[in-house]
Structure 1
Amino acid sequence: MTADAWFEIAASACLILGALLSLAAGIGLLRFADALSRMHAATKPQITGLAFILLAIGLEARNWATVSTLILVMLFQMLTAPVAAHMIGRAAYRTRHLRRELLLTDELADVVDRAATDLATDPAKRPE
């Protein structure tokens, strides 16, 4: 077997694995109960699936121009997906779009209550 055949087999395996992980992320978005669970499904398997798909493209293309672009795409996704998930989780928590009975511990309750009390006593602290 030649090296090209091995690269194609590896690229095919990465593409299938990435597609399955992305499918799992989509199913998780549809099936999970609340926003916090959906946030987890939208980030973890989606980023890993994207990594495998980009690896498959890199193995198939095998030139530095393509690989460097793929590295930038992956870096951008790895930097933005956690921030977006954090903001979605924060908005869901503050607007009560979550199922409290699914939370094992609520570490933000005291902080949010204290912030609400501070805003009620001093309206000047309200963000604009």
Structure 2
Amino acid sequence: MIVLDVVSAVLLLAGSALTVTAVVGLYRLPDVYARMHAAAKPATLGITLCLLGAALQVEDVAVVTKLLLAAAFALLTAPVANHLLGRAAHATGAAQSVETVVDELEDEIRPD
């Protein structure tokens, strides 16, 4: 049981660290596109790791199933939602950082 507790603690700490990284990225990054990247990648993995760590500590099969389903839905829906938000931001003309070099959607969304 000690090994299970250690693995669970590592998953919870790693998930928390990734989520904190996502929060820092939301404050520090320059434009909406970079912020969405910070919100999608580490936050999704962080939530998933936290849910897996919690699932290792629960003994009820129904609760473990719910936690695993929540992790699966987070992994499936967050990247898709952020992709759509990015396309919507680009279509509405959200400002890009001056450091942006390539705009791959320029011809696809706004064909002039």
Q: Is TM (by shorter chain) over 0.5? A: yes
- Residue of structure 1 equivalent to 2:24: 27
Q: Tell me the distance in 2 between the aligned counterparts of 1:110 and 1:97.
A: 16
Between Structure 1 and Structure 2, the one with more helix by share is 1
Preserved contact between residue 18 and residue 49 of structure 1 (Cα < 8 Å): yes
Alignment of 1:40 onto 2:37: yes
* 1:30-72 CA-partner distances (Å, limit 9, x unpaired): 1110000000000100111111101111111144212211121
Q: Tell me the distance in 2 between the aligned counterparts of 1:62 and 1:36.
A: 41
Q: CA deviation at 1:100?
A: 5.2
Alignment of 1:91 onto 2:88: yes
Task: Kindly report structure 1 stretches of 4+ aligned residues shifted beyond 6 Å.
Answer: none
- Residue of structure 2 equivalent to 1:15: 12
- Residue of structure 2 equivalent to 1:65: 62
Larger gyration radius, structure 1 or structure 2: 1
- Residue of structure 2 equivalent to 1:106: 103
Q: CA deviation at 1:95?
A: 2.2
Q: Tell me the distance in 1 between the aligned counterparts of 2:15 and 2:97.
A: 33
Decide whether aligned partners of structure 1 residues 30 and 100 sit closer, same or farther in structure 2, where only a CA change above 3 A counts.
closer
* 1:3-55 CA-partner distances (Å, limit 9, x unpaired): x1111111111111111100001111111100000000001001111111011
Preserved contact between residue 36 and residue 98 of structure 1 (Cα < 8 Å): no
TM-score, L = length of structure 1: 0.79
* 1:61-89 CA-partner distances (Å, limit 9, x unpaired): 14421221112101211221112101221
Q: Tell me the distance in 2 between the aligned counterparts of 1:59 and 1:7.
A: 7
Q: Tell me the secondary structure at the aligned position of residue 78 of structure 2.
A: helix
